[in-house]
Amino acid sequence: MERLIFYILALTIILFSVMTVTSRNILRAAIYLLFVLLATAGIYFLLNYNFLAAVQLTVYSGGVVVLIVFAVLLTAKIDHKLEPVNKVKSALTALLAIIGLGAILWAVFGYNFTGNGMAEGAYDVKAIGSSLLSYGQYGYVLPFEVISILLLAAMVGAIMIAKRYKND
């Protein structure tokens, strides 16, 4: 059963990934990307990583894709099509992608994965929360804070850029 669902999800991801990069309509590409992200969330659910799956849904599907779509709505017209990529370029890109895929597969199959002894099953949100904010060993408080400041800086920067153009 789980195997079947995995294959369905995997196939969806592969199919829509290809469609995302080949579609000439930018909003459709964004929607294909949404399907890829949704299927990824499905795989997380399958692995019982519920928290990660919900984060995937909120941040990527509900956040990033919405922002992309929003930006497209503000800028693109409905009959707007992206220029087709010339053949040499697409062949080169395909070649690079295949090399990359080969490298990843080689690395994955070449590494001998061993279980880390942690229990299978749902992870407690509490544990995630406390390790995110703990400053002991394996605590993530420093990266957490650094990323917060980075995001804040990005936000302030965005506001400043928007403001300056408005005042001119």
Partner 1 sequence: MKEPLDLTPLTQSIHDYLLSYLSPFWTTTVEWVIIGVLLIAFVALSVMGLVYIERKVAAFFQLRLGPNRVGKWGLLQTLADFLKLLMKEHITSKNADKFLFNLAPFIIVIASFLAIGAIPFALGLQAMDINIGLFYITAASSIGVLGILIGGWAGNNKYSLIGALRSGAQVVSYEISAVLSLLTIVVLSGSLQLSTIIESQSDGWWIFKGHLPVFIAFIMFLIAGTAETNRGPFDLAEAESELTAGFHTEYSGIKFAMFFLAEYVNLFIIAAVGATVFLGGWMPFHIGNWAAFNEVMNYIPPVIWFFFKVGFVIGLIMWFKWTFPRLRIDQLLVLEWKYLLPINLVNLIVVAFIAMMGWYF
Partner 2 sequence: MIEEVETKDAIKTQEYFVNMGPQHPSTHGVLRLMLELDGEIIKKVTPHIGYIHRSIEKMSEKDSYRQIVHLTDRMDYLSNHMNNEAVCLLVENALEVEVSDRVKVIRTIMSELTRLSSHQLWWGVMGMDLGALTTFLYAFRDREMINDIFEETCGARLTVNYNVPGGVMFDIHPNFQQRVKDFIKSFKTKLPEYDDLLSNNVIFRQRTEGVGILSKEDAISYGVTGPTGRASGFSNDTRKHKPYSAYDRVEFKEILMDKGDTFSRYKARILEMWESVSIIEQLIDNIPEGDIQEPSVKQVIKLPKGEFYQSVETARGELGVYVVSDGQKSPYRLKFRSPGFSNLFVLDHMVRGYKIADLVAMMSTIDLVIPDIDR
For partner 2, the binding residues (CB under 8 A) are 77, 165, 168
Q: Tell me which residues in 134-163 interact with partner 1 (CB under 8 A).
A: none
Residue 65, Cβ neighbours under 10 Å: how many?
A: 19
> Shortest approach of partner 1 to residue 23 CB, angstroms?
10
Within the chain, what is the greatest distance between any pair of CA atoms?
61
Query: What's the distance, CA 116 to chain centroid?
Result: 26
Length of the chain: 168
51 binds partner 1 (CB under 8 A): yes
Q: How far is the CB of 116 from partner 2 (least distance, A)?
A: 51
SS3 at position 67 = helix
In whole angstroms, how close is the CB of 20 to partner 1 at the nearest point? 14
Answer for which of 15, 19, 31, 85 binds partner 1 (CB under 8 A) is 31
Q: Which is nearer to partner 1, 21 or 105 (CB)?
A: 21
Rounded CA Rg of the chain: 21
